Structure 1
Amino acid sequence: MPVITLYRQLQGRLPSGESTPRSALIREDASPLQAQRETLDIVCRRLSAAKVAYFCVRPMPGHPPVVAVAQRDRERALTTLASSGRPLLAARLPYGKGARGRAPEEIGRMRPLKRVAAQLHDAWAVRVGLYFTSPSRTLTIGPEHGCDLEFWAKQKGMLIAPRPNPACASVPAKAKAVQGGEELFNTLVSAGQGVRTYRTRPEFTRRLVGDIDFPIDAVYTWVDGADPAWRARRDQALAEGGGPTGTLSEMATTEARFTSREELRYSLRSLLTYAPWINRVWIVTAGQTPPWLDTTHPMVRVVDHKEIFNDPSVLPVFNSHAIETQLHHIDGLAEHFLYLNDDFFLGRPLPSRTFFEANGITRFFPSLAHVPFGAPESEESPVHAAGMNNRRMLEDLSGRTLTQKLKHAPYALRRSVLYELEERFNDEFEATSRSRFRRTSDISALSSLVHYYSYLNGRAVPGNVEYTYVDLALRKTPAKLRRMLARRWHDAFCLNDTAPTTPEQDALLVRFLRAYYPTPVPFELDQGGSPARRS
């Protein structure tokens, strides 16, 4: 939903026809997961109280939770939900239509259930939902994150599903119900993470071939470029020459590379709002800790460079290429993990299958931008130079030529593959790890090399994300941020700066991030050192 508050701040006017629904329920923990949980719980509680037999069905990928009721109980089910005392909305689901990414009006006009219950007497499936909003009113979540009510027909002692699901087309009409974990019915919850159980049928509790039931961690690299102690170490390293080999580019030391506007705080909010299935978060730093981070929380851990570098004597380093060659050394890191920079953001809910297949294969997201042909030694861009070095290594290994960059979106990785890559290209890994600043001799192991290496070895496949890149220094950026906030149609985006920004541009970014991500993460502290309130 569009955000009124931010429009007032950025445009000085109110967009026509845009508002938060009056029926929206305020929730401090507003998120797609919260909306789906609360709506599903309401539906199950009301049906149980009215003694309407039901069972939860495993949804198709990207769909909200599904509750099944026999066709003969359709009117009783709709009547009891309509009298629940909550402002439930409902719409008939068109046959064959999915829900992921669809606005309520594309599903069918959502109307108060108590008004339309009688009109749904022949529906085969109904979307039931509520509107929720954050206290700031900058995040509104609608019925697209509600619950689908299906009506199963009885035929020859069997209940027949009205539409496909991942498990089965029918279940015995008189079979006993069992309890199933939340992860079976909510695609935003991972195995072992759910805290709820729901009434279901045995057919929906099976471990399916396509189930992702392994933990997926997240790793961030972060630096506070305003820290005087860190700046002193950086300036001393620059005075000493910055490293042993390769040409040092001016782009490797620009202030824009180290500026922090609390992007990490909001990137973490984006991650846990839109990928709440993440198991654990690791933040890799040079002895720094964000003052707002609760390091005692079991879900997060700060990792010092000294803990992961094979040769700590090369420290300090100020080169993300060098740090990335060592991330798989994190003690306790899950085999499967996402790697993110603090300027990466998720823009809407993404299931874990966006990044991984159930057999462990990773997905990567090629960009239309190319790695230019030429010699890395004459290349001004450290990113291009690293891509050229990656290309040479893969050509020597396989005879295949790398031409495409990858999108600046979360990178799906496997520790075992990184260890294998490090062993195969030990000289290149070691040389890059010793480069204190980005140099033309670097490789980009995590943002390019490992993905194409894995693809050539059958352990990665190209994926798709709706993505955009935002350069904060451009004049058109304010208008673009307004559109992004209003539409929220990107799966992921990167907020980067290719040149130093002005205080006005920095303030604009902060307002955008606060509006897009108002819900704090569980390990976030407020200014007083207490767990942060939802805003």
Structure 2
Amino acid sequence: MQVGTLYQRLRKHLVAGGATPGTALVRQDAGPLQAQRETFGLVCSALAGAGVPYFCVRPPHGRPPAVAVPATHQSEALSALARCEQPLLAGRQPYGRRGERSAEVGEMRPLRRAGDLEGARVLRLALHFTSPSRTLTLGSEYGCDLEFWAPEGDTLVAPRPNRSCDIVPLHGRTVQGGEELFNNLVSPSRSIGTYPTRPEFTRRLIDDIDFPIDAVYTWVDGSDPAWRARRDLALTGGLSEQATTDARFTSRDELRYSLRSLLTYAPWVNRVWVVTDGQRPSWLDTSNPLISVVDHKEIFTDPSVLPVFNSHAIETQLHHIDGLSEHFLYLNDDFFLGRPLPAHTFFEGNGMPHFFPSVVHVPFGSPADEESPVHAAGMNNRRILETLSGRTLTQKMKHVPYALRRSLMYEIEERLADDFAATARGAFRKSSDISVVSSLAHYYGYLTGRATPGLIEYTYVDLALEETPAKLRRMLAKRKHDAFCLNDTAPTTEEQDALLMRFLEAYYPTPNPFELS
């Protein structure tokens, strides 16, 4: 399929949550966090301007910000919101007998013309936004919930559960709470303001993630002549073709779009580190204090082994990054987030990381006889874990961001010093490698009670396959995956590369703060 034809088909799928190009507000910084912030701010401002009493509520994970109004002030609240300069859409939020909300949002209609909302216990309020490209639209799922709390004696009772409490004093005092309390896409370090709330909603909860989570990328530009000269000088006989193929080192600007995906769908990330071999993307704004480029020489315990062109080797040294937070995500540049993910996707409130086993098995056999360096490393991980615990590893990990703890990495390195050193010395992948951050650290953490399996909706895309254009079209239309990997198991054509760029630009049209203008 021609790239232009694919793009034409992609543009047919602009609607998200009921938005249409004719009703959506165009924003250069369009994204879930922008949409929630703007809608949440509009609702609070309208209520405050009309003198309607309200307080903000801590929503469960996966729900947008929520604002509570005493049910006795429902008419005033609806009238104030109907007068907003930006017309809000409204829909009833279904809930069960005990207040649990349905997965579906009710029909969204202009609030000014929704005369049957009196008596509703919970409403979803939303504006519709779109990027200038019209390929990213944001609707009701990124709005704000309006809850009407019922007076019962001297208390107000919630219409549904939340993260803190279901009952507050009718005339309790109002305090200010940071944005991170009410928006699941915000971390304390990324909070930009405070909102009126009740003291009950400002407590530090058992499962709160209030520690910083960094992100680490490894990146290489395989077209760089200086880098290629270093690689060619290091090439020797007896290496696996899969360890040296150009496809392993090809850069199509995926890092730019992977960063866009990270900043769009995990805006709570604290700081980003890009680990390279004396390279840096020409478009990257390294003056931004939230991103740093780290050279291999800065992290390798034994710099004399450099240069290396082996991701397994580089990954054994990532925890040596000076200034890296204790909790971090590791990503390859072909990893992408597909929709908003709270930090709880990757970590528990106590700091325990989640890992995501794949259905793909590590084959049994001898690593020395295995053509795939990835499978060989999995076999070596299996040997180590059997020696340490008597348990057998059988599953690979999904190609999604790996949640890691720096202290655990140091512990494994100390305990398996010889395996770490041997892998770090390998200029190219070899059958004796271990794969630490993509497998071993997670299983080691699990077997020592410091990691737990998580859930993530994921898909893998092989760019060289004939059915890939149709799959990319479906992915853009539905946006149902939490994360996906766009990989190439063989060299791709110029047309396939152009197709990929069109897809990425359509999926992630909003530039991130790290891009030079």
Cα distance between partner residues in 1 of 2:368 and 2:386:
18
SS at match of 1:223: coil
Superposed CA offset, 1:352-378 (max 9, x none): 000000001110000000000000000
2:81 corresponds to which residue? Answer: 81
- Counterparts of 1:216-227 in structure 2 under 5 Å? 216-227=213-224
Whether 1:401 and 2:392 are equivalent positions in the alignment is yes
1:295 corresponds to which residue? Answer: 286
1:176 CA displacement? 1.6
1:265 corresponds to which residue? Answer: 256
Cα distance between partner residues in 2 of 1:288 and 1:11:
32
1:53 corresponds to which residue? Answer: 53
1:12 CA displacement? 4.9
- Counterparts of 1:200-211 in structure 2 under 5 Å? 200-211=197-208
- Counterparts of 1:321-336 in structure 2 under 5 Å? 321-336=312-327
Instruction: Determine which of 135, 141, 145 is the counterpart of 2:138.
Output: 141
1:10 corresponds to which residue? Answer: 6
Gaps of 5+ in 2: none
- Counterparts of 1:151-166 in structure 2 under 5 Å? 151-166=148-163
1:75 CA displacement? 1.1
Cα distance between partner residues in 2 of 1:521 and 1:46:
30
1:111 corresponds to which residue? Answer: 109
User: Percent identity between the aligned chains?
Assistant: 70
Distance 1:518 1:13, change over 3 A: closer
SS at match of 1:230: helix
Instruction: Determine which of 316, 329, 342 is the counterpart of 2:333.
Output: 342
1:87 CA displacement? 2.3
Cα distance between partner residues in 2 of 1:503 and 1:8:
14
1:248 CA displacement? 2.4
SS at match of 1:76: helix
2:475 corresponds to which residue? Answer: 484
Cα distance between partner residues in 2 of 1:14 and 1:495:
18
Superposed CA offset, 1:184-214 (max 9, x none): 0000001232011000000000001010000
Distance 1:18 1:99, change over 3 A: farther
Distance 1:476 1:316, change over 3 A: same
State the one-letter code of the partner of 2:145.
Answer: D
Gaps of 5+ in 1: 1-5, 242-246, 526-531
- Counterparts of 1:384-533 in structure 2 under 5 Å? 384-525=375-516, 532=517
Cα distance between partner residues in 2 of 1:11 and 1:358:
42
1:15 CA displacement? 7.4
1:14 CA displacement? 7.5
1:529 corresponds to which residue? Answer: none
State the one-letter code of the partner of 1:398.
Answer: S
Superposed CA offset, 1:491-522 (max 9, x none): 00000000000000000000000000011111
Q: Is the 8 A contact 2:300 2:320 kept in 1?
A: yes
Q: Is the 8 A contact 2:21 2:134 kept in 1?
A: no
State the one-letter code of the partner of 2:391.
Answer: R
1:98 CA displacement? 7.2
Distance 1:416 1:13, change over 3 A: closer
Distance 1:109 1:8, change over 3 A: farther
Distance 1:56 1:18, change over 3 A: closer
Q: Is the 8 A contact 1:64 1:99 kept in 2?
A: no
SS at match of 1:107: coil
Superposed CA offset, 1:83-107 (max 9, x none): 112121000000148789x6xxx31
State the one-letter code of the partner of 2:74.
Answer: R
Whether 1:358 and 2:349 are equivalent positions in the alignment is yes
Whether 1:66 and 2:62 are equivalent positions in the alignment is no
1:143 CA displacement? 1.2
1:21 CA displacement? 3.8
Distance 1:99 1:312, change over 3 A: farther
State the one-letter code of the partner of 2:267.
Answer: P
SS at match of 1:192: helix
1:3 corresponds to which residue? Answer: none
1:23 CA displacement? 1.1
2:244 corresponds to which residue? Answer: 253
Distance 1:16 1:344, change over 3 A: closer
State the one-letter code of the partner of 2:139.
Answer: G
TM-score, scaled to structure 2: 0.96
Distance 1:80 1:12, change over 3 A: closer
1:56 CA displacement? 0.2
SS at match of 2:229: helix
1:39 corresponds to which residue? Answer: 39
SS at match of 1:120: coil
1:51 CA displacement? 0.2
Cα distance between partner residues in 2 of 1:136 and 1:130:
18
2:171 corresponds to which residue? Answer: 174
Cα distance between partner residues in 2 of 1:358 and 1:393:
30
Q: Is the 8 A contact 1:248 1:440 kept in 2?
A: no
Cα distance between partner residues in 1 of 2:45 and 2:11:
39
State the one-letter code of the partner of 2:459.
Answer: T
Q: Is the 8 A contact 2:14 2:21 kept in 1?
A: no
State the one-letter code of the partner of 1:249.
Answer: S
SS at match of 2:72: helix
Cα distance between partner residues in 2 of 1:416 and 1:399:
24
Superposed CA offset, 1:443-483 (max 9, x none): 00000000000000010111110000000000000000000
Distance 1:13 1:143, change over 3 A: closer
Superposed CA offset, 1:288-346 (max 9, x none): 01011110101000000000000001000000000000000000000000000000000
1:79 CA displacement? 1.1
Whether 1:381 and 2:372 are equivalent positions in the alignment is yes
Instruction: Determine which of 255, 266, 271 is the counterpart of 1:280.
Output: 271
Q: Is the 8 A contact 2:258 2:335 kept in 1?
A: yes
State the one-letter code of the partner of 1:217.
Answer: D
Distance 1:331 1:148, change over 3 A: same
Instruction: Determine which of 296, 308, 315 is the counterpart of 2:299.
Output: 308
Cα distance between partner residues in 2 of 1:170 and 1:421:
47
Cα distance between partner residues in 1 of 2:145 and 2:362:
46
2:231 corresponds to which residue? Answer: 234
Cα distance between partner residues in 2 of 1:302 and 1:163:
46
TM-score, scaled to structure 1: 0.93
Cα distance between partner residues in 1 of 2:230 and 2:4:
42
Superposed CA offset, 1:393-420 (max 9, x none): 0000000000000000000000000000
